[in-house]
Structure 1
Amino acid sequence: MAKDGEKGEWKEYIWNPRTREFLGRTASSWGLILLFYLIFYIFLAGLFALTMYVMLQTLDDHKPTWQDRLSIPGMVIKPNADEAFEIVYNTQDTESWDMFAQALDKFLSPYNDSVQAQKNYECTPDQYFEQEDSGDVKNNPKRSCQFNRTVLEDCSGIHDRYYGYRDGKPCIIIKLNRVIGMLPGKDGQPPFVTCGPKKEDTDKIGELAYFPPNGTFNLMYYPYYGKKAQVNYSQPLVAVKFLNITANQDVNIECKINANNIPAGNERDKFAGRVSFKLRINTKN
């Protein structure tokens, strides 16, 4: 009997036909509480939307409101065979070095003279190409300077489509990471790249050739205004050709950026403004 009574109480709690209550509430009570929560969540959604709208009004689509002021830009080399930054191949094995040539072809294709002439502007060398806004009027899109792959001469892939890899005189391409607003160099002195061996490999590196001459990044490619503001921006490049590096041995190389307003590095980030990699050219089967 007790079980039947408990069962009856549960049924009556779910639906009480005498008071017409469902789960202890009448239809009007349920309607009022649902209306309250509907209005409450609409208010929260509206408050969130208003907050997001106000925040978005403070943002610039073309330039980040806040950004880290990087005093030392990072460096990248091409081709980068893997994360270990090792370029190892055998001059007698075409397949071992052809992938490097193909990677450089793909990387340099946007720098073809015809492509650059179509997209970019012939700037005045050796001076910053500044394009400031006029008050609230945005000077967008901003123009970008041409960087033609022919500037890389022996490392352009035009005269030697193997980039020296077949002859044991390989080329590497270096670029600086983009930093919005950075003006590297002052008093008309452009930043430049130097490469050299690590201490243990001092006598293995041999002669180097830089393209453009002296491994410079011309000032006309700076400042950079951001991906949206400067859609066609072409990063300047420096090519380094190893003319008589010691064969059949590992050679550890470090390249770094030099400028009269870029710090040489610090203890917190020893790899800022420089890149290290291993180069090994095998000539024996």
Structure 2
Amino acid sequence: MDEKVVRYKKNSNDIHVLPPSPYTEVPKPNVRREKLSVENEETIQTKKKLEKTKKNFLFDPRRKTFLGRSSLNWARLAAFYTVFYFCLGMFFVILLYVFALILDREVPTYYNKDSTMAVRTTATVVGMGFRPQPMVDDSLIRVSNDLYEQKRIASSLRLYRDVYLIQKTDAKAEPCTELDPASELVPGTACSFSWFDIVSTQDHPCSDNNMYGFKHEEPCVLVKLNKVYGWTPTKGPLPIHIQGLRNIHNNKSIAKPDVYITCEGTNPSDRDAQTEMVYYSLEKPSGSSKYGVIPNYYFPYRNARDHVQPFVLVQFKNLPLHRLISITCRAWSPGIEHETRGMRGMVAFQLYRSQVAEKLIKDDN
């Protein structure tokens, strides 16, 4: 409705209504305030509806539902998933059972050059190991005149010997020789071999009475090849390094070569500090200063239950005091490749000799 200007005439009762002036400012309604008020009301209503919806979702008393489902619906859902996961589990168990039936327990499906062991190489990867190793993730062997330390390290090697290096009296084993190698044995039969074939008496430097050399601070370290199913030393000439040690210079191929074990300092500084070493093996149980030998007729390994892996004992004499020496032992035979990065055909460990004062030892005793 248009506003009108009402004017009164002086000394007159007449009223004149004048039309509004185009220059008169007309007040406008507060639209923004009204809009905010409406939005606040809508927000409040929305929050109330949301809270009500949440409550009804958790439990709706009118429909008697919990989380949107009735008790009967929940029972059907639980029964469905119970049957579903039970059938899924049974399907997995049946597949596992069928896989176990078709899998050979004695012969692996892939081995040697047909397995991943021959990746990036033309030969089977042959690894090595050593003992004693009191800590699985530690390659340091401590040598000390402390009786407690000697007993601790000796017990580690004794435990390994009793579990893995001694055949039982009822073991299914037969003697192996050049004429009767392991390859000719009946499946499941192992070669007769044990710790005592090398350490035959208690007077041996590596015997239990001498705490495997640790009693006199001249430790005996057991070095062995890892078990590789079906692997045998391949035909070929002896490695040049072994030819030099044996004073033989002949590249003639050998049909059944043995495996030779040698050890030396890893770095030039280690080789400078390296002292006398004695190798005790099946070929020379009395000891050799040049190398140890694992006869070829003890290969291949065929997963026999009573199998004992052949080994070489390396005794380190006159170790320097308070000096860490890194030792690398290698296996030499045609077909064995050496790679420092992947430790193929070799194994490394450290020796550290220390001495405790005599007074402290007497106090401990």
Instruction: Return the TM-score normalized by structure 1.
Output: 0.72
Question: Mapping of 1:205-284 within 5 angstroms?
Answer: 205-212=274-281, 213=284, 214-226=291-303, 230-265=304-339, 267=341, 269=342, 271-283=343-355
> 3-state DSSP class of the match of 1:69?
helix
**Displacement of 1:276:** 1.4
Letter of the structure 2 residue corresponding to residue 243 of structure 1: K
User: What do the CA deviations read for 1:49-98 (whole angstroms, capped 9, x no partner)?
Assistant: 6654554443212233245335222222111133231112322x211222
User: What do the CA deviations read for 1:146-175 (whole angstroms, capped 9, x no partner)?
Assistant: 2222233335425x4322212221111112
Question: Equivalent of 1:62, from 106, 116, 119?
Answer: 106
**In structure 2, how many angstroms separate the alpha carbons of the residues matched to 1:48 and 1:112?**
39
Change (3 A) 1:90 1:54: closer
Aligned partners of 1:197 and 1:252 also within 8 Å: yes
Q: Does 1:193 align with 2:243?
A: no
> 3-state DSSP class of the match of 1:166?
helix
Letter of the structure 2 residue corresponding to residue 207 of structure 1: E
**In structure 1, how many angstroms separate the alpha carbons of the residues matched to 2:190 and 2:183?**
10
**Displacement of 1:100:** 1.5
**Displacement of 1:247:** 3.1
Letter of the structure 1 residue corresponding to residue 316 of structure 2: F
Letter of the structure 2 residue corresponding to residue 157 of structure 1: S
Change (3 A) 1:208 1:185: farther
Look up the match of 2:223.
174
**In structure 2, how many angstroms separate the alpha carbons of the residues matched to 1:39 and 1:86?**
55
User: What do the CA deviations read for 1:194-242 (whole angstroms, capped 9, x no partner)?
Assistant: 100122121221221111133122223322223xxx2111111110011
Q: Which has the larger radius of gyration?
A: 2
**Displacement of 1:130:** 1.9
Q: CA RMSD in A?
A: 3.8
Q: Does 1:72 align with 2:144?
A: no
Look up the match of 2:153.
100
Any gaps of 5 or more consecutive residues in structure 2?
1-51, 119-123, 236-254, 285-290, 358-365
**Displacement of 1:116:** 4.5
**Displacement of 1:111:** 6.5
Change (3 A) 1:55 1:96: closer
Aligned partners of 1:78 and 1:172 also within 8 Å: yes
Any gaps of 5 or more consecutive residues in structure 1?
16-22, 134-138
**Displacement of 1:272:** 2.2
Change (3 A) 1:146 1:120: farther
**Displacement of 1:125:** 2.4
**In structure 2, how many angstroms separate the alpha carbons of the residues matched to 1:240 and 1:216?**
11
